[in-house]
Structure 1
Amino acid sequence: MKLRLLKSFQSGLSACLLAMCGLSDAAAADNWHWHGFVSQGLMQASDSNFVNDDGAISTELTEFGVNGSYQFSADLRLSGQLMYLDGGNRYASGGRVDYLFLNWTAVNNLDWQLNLYAGRFKNMHWLYSSTRDVPMTRPMIVLPQSVYFDAFRDIAVGSDGIALQSTNTTAIGEFEMIWSYGAIPISKEMARRVIATQLRGDTEQKYVHQATLFFRPANSQTQWGISLLDSGFEYRQAQPDLFFDGEFTVQRVMANWRYSAELWELSSELMQERVFARGFYLPGFNRNQFAQGAFLLGSYNWSENTRLYASYDWYTANKDDRGGALLPLQSGGLIARYFGYQRDWGLGITQELDRNLRLKLEYHWITGTGRLGPNVVPAIDINRSRQHDIWAVQLMYWF
């Protein structure tokens, strides 16, 4: 069944791109390129709803997709990716268009390159935001949730709008500047995984505005970056509904760093996120809260075919209440303190089995439930344990 879906995705993407190009198969042969991947695994998150509600071993670790591009000319290209995901509670299962955009290279010389993207472009602002959509290009099966919150995956992977990317080489190093503006449609199922399982109304992302600066010093193996994000969401209640009309403003400041050596790599991102809520819980309700998070992720080439990974991820939902002491007081004892934070130690190993065949194994020891979905109204009836863990094994093939 999944292989038939993959073939349908491949045919659909080809037809979509060729139709947009207005070209026949023969005319497009030289300029058309496509790739695909299939990935299947097993996963268990005992004592939490990260994968499912009962904590059982799950096969809901399926990812396959097809991506392709058509080169109109040396400076104009069309790219797209169709994706199928089955991840249990992590994100909505089914197909989606991760990206479909035109890329115009306006300037391309030795010192300066300027690209314009229009359509559903990829999020290029964070260290792993542009590579998290493909299992082979992610460092780990489960990325640090402080920054790469899985329930938010389809909202964060890309946006419908425009983006600019400028890369400048100078005497002191390389500067890369990225700017983007857009929005993404939000389905009810997606909103329920992020906001609340009881949600009945409609959720809309009004806009997301991002800007990033990366700096790679000359004769150095490091990269430094800073990113800004401003986004607005709107909720319109249904009848009947447990929630009211409301608006959310989400603003992030992020700093990142990466060091790449011959056999090993270290990377880190730090973020502070402001969430301003108006209405939703009650008419006239207002709450302004700052979350903070950070991770350190390292990898080492043990051998030609084996790579080891280790990570530590830290998150607090309220920087003024790091231990979550206010949550029981504010909720009349319904929400435990451990919903206010999350700490995650992770270990992983990747083994190359063949030229295009890879096996990943991973384990996470977690304290706190602050980064389990839904995030706005937590699932207190399921996540009753302060300590929980995740293990996963995933086999992936690409072509």
Structure 2
Amino acid sequence: MYSRFASAAPGIALFGACLLWAQPVLCLDLLGGDFQVHGFASLTLVNTSDNNFFGHSDDRISNNFSEVGLNASWRVTPELQVAAEVLSRRAGGTDDGGARLDYGLADWSPLSSEEGRGGVRVGRIKTAYGLYNKTRDVPFTRPSIILPQSIYFERTRNLTVSADGGEIYVERYGEGGILSASFAYGQPQTDSDAAKVALVGLNRPGSLDSGLAPDFQLLYEGAGGTYRLAFTATRLDLHYKPGFGDLLRSGRFELTPLIFSAQYNAECWSLTSEYALRRSSVSNFGPFFYNGTADGRSYYLQGTYRLAPQWEALLRYDAYYADWGDRDGQRFAAATRQPAFSRFARDWTAGLRFDVTPQFMLRVEAHWVDGTGFLAVQDNPNSQSLRRYWDNYMLQASYRF
């Protein structure tokens, strides 16, 4: 593993040198700071002992995970702000690097005072989903190279990252902290093959559509952000329309995750945990598909420690079960002849972050995984070749301005 990453080191070094050369350009501020432009870029190398993650990484180096984003915001009036981000993301077989609008919205807050504020957002809005979803697009805002896969799946990222619709929000400021609530109603992004493949498999000629999805979040921050507590509830209602010669019928996916989040931030360390209850229903696909209901569970416990002003260490345990009543996947395996371990994943993660400058960051991360529950079928088309126990090593360089 060391020799493989060492062979890729010159490329990482060149990438870093170019970013350091460009670091005096921090951001673009116009109109007295009311108009701002920012951006970021990251490149990640991935190596796995077995299975594939973000491209062909099994016993080789994959460079098929990169992110480039450009975002802008304009404070039109004290009450109205518009913002948008264009993102190009490569992520193995789940994302091809094409440029797309990650979010684009107008934020109007007519109610604003020292006690709080309230308003509405319309457009392609970021989905409130746990603690990290609204900022997961920028590598610097994530606690690790990849977020805990038990909560924030990479293989179905577009389904939950943003939606086309509207959001009502209110924030209340007090001596005890900040209490905020939001309710959104919008159309999830189902226009890519990634979501369809994750739900019905490869080479299906049909299409996936979604009804309007509600999303509610209640968030409390106390003691100046020392602790944060949140509750998130959403519902996805996805419909599959068969194509010509399709073996599947007009099926329906219903998913209702409830997420409980807690975080404590001390001077040098942070402790974060999230727990999700996932009620799912798969129906009307016919005899050639696995129909049924499941009560999934997923959770993680994560600690970070600031070793020095520029160094941070991370340790996390992350667990995902597609069906709590069939945690070992044996009933699923008997019904489908698919590997039982594809219904769960337990991941120990250790990582290290080094902020070379405020604009340039390096990260290294190791995962020791039992199960394949969060792997993308695009990168692993032959389920019979999957291995239950596998390791994942990642090296990332990121820049922002």
Matches of 2:287 and 2:72, distance apart in 1: 47
Out of 378, 385, 388, which is 2:387 matched to?
385
- Deviation of 1:53 (Å): 4.7
Residue number in structure 1 paired with 2:22: none
Answering whether residue 92 of structure 2 is matched by residue 88 of structure 1, we say yes
Indicate if the aligned counterparts of 2:313 and 2:352 stay in contact, CA closer than 8 A.
yes
- Deviation of 1:289 (Å): 1.0
- Deviation of 1:192 (Å): 4.2
After superposition, the C-alpha distances for 1:339-387 in whole angstroms (9 at most, x for unaligned) are: 1211000011111112311101111000011122249xx8453652110
- Deviation of 1:221 (Å): 2.0
Indicate if the aligned counterparts of 1:174 and 1:216 stay in contact, CA closer than 8 A.
yes
Matches of 1:313 and 1:285, distance apart in 2: 26
Matches of 1:209 and 1:150, distance apart in 2: 21
TM-score w.r.t. structure 1 length? Answer: 0.87
Residue number in structure 1 paired with 2:27: none
Residue number in structure 2 paired with 1:75: 79
Query: How many residue pairs are counted as aligned between the two chains?
Result: 371
Matches of 1:265 and 1:103, distance apart in 2: 31
Matches of 1:82 and 1:219, distance apart in 2: 32
Answering whether residue 350 of structure 2 is matched by residue 347 of structure 1, we say yes
After superposition, the C-alpha distances for 1:132-172 in whole angstroms (9 at most, x for unaligned) are: 11111111111111100001111211110001221112454
Residue number in structure 1 paired with 2:339: 336
**Which 4+ stretches in 1 moved above 6 angstroms?**
none
Residue number in structure 2 paired with 1:133: 137
Indicate if the aligned counterparts of 2:247 and 2:288 stay in contact, CA closer than 8 A.
no
Farther off after superposition, 120-129 or 252-261: 120-129
Q: Which amino acid aligns with 1:351?
A: F
Answering whether residue 275 of structure 2 is matched by residue 273 of structure 1, we say no
Matches of 2:288 and 2:339, distance apart in 1: 25
Q: Which amino acid aligns with 2:370?
A: T
- Deviation of 1:283 (Å): 8.8
Matches of 1:268 and 1:249, distance apart in 2: 25
Indicate if the aligned counterparts of 1:61 and 1:394 stay in contact, CA closer than 8 A.
no
Instruction: Give matches, 1:1-399, under 5 Å.
Output: 31-53=34-56, 55=58, 56-170=60-174, 172-195=176-199, 196-217=201-222, 221-282=226-287, 286-331=291-336, 334-374=337-377, 379-381=381-383, 383-399=385-401
CA RMSD of aligned residues (A): 2.3
Indicate if the aligned counterparts of 2:366 and 2:393 stay in contact, CA closer than 8 A.
yes
- Deviation of 1:232 (Å): 0.6
Matches of 2:66 and 2:372, distance apart in 1: 24
Q: Structure 1: which 5+ runs fail to align?
A: 4-26
Structure 1 residues 118 and 220: CA distance shift in structure 2, 3 A: closer
Q: Secondary structure at the match of 2:133?
A: coil
Indicate if the aligned counterparts of 1:367 and 1:386 stay in contact, CA closer than 8 A.
yes
Indicate if the aligned counterparts of 2:87 and 2:99 stay in contact, CA closer than 8 A.
yes
Q: Which amino acid aligns with 2:392?
A: I
Q: Which amino acid aligns with 1:353?
A: V
Matches of 1:321 and 1:61, distance apart in 2: 33
Indicate if the aligned counterparts of 1:192 and 1:374 stay in contact, CA closer than 8 A.
no
Residue identity (%): 26
Q: Which amino acid aligns with 1:295?
A: Y
Matches of 1:298 and 1:383, distance apart in 2: 34
Q: Secondary structure at the match of 2:204?
A: coil
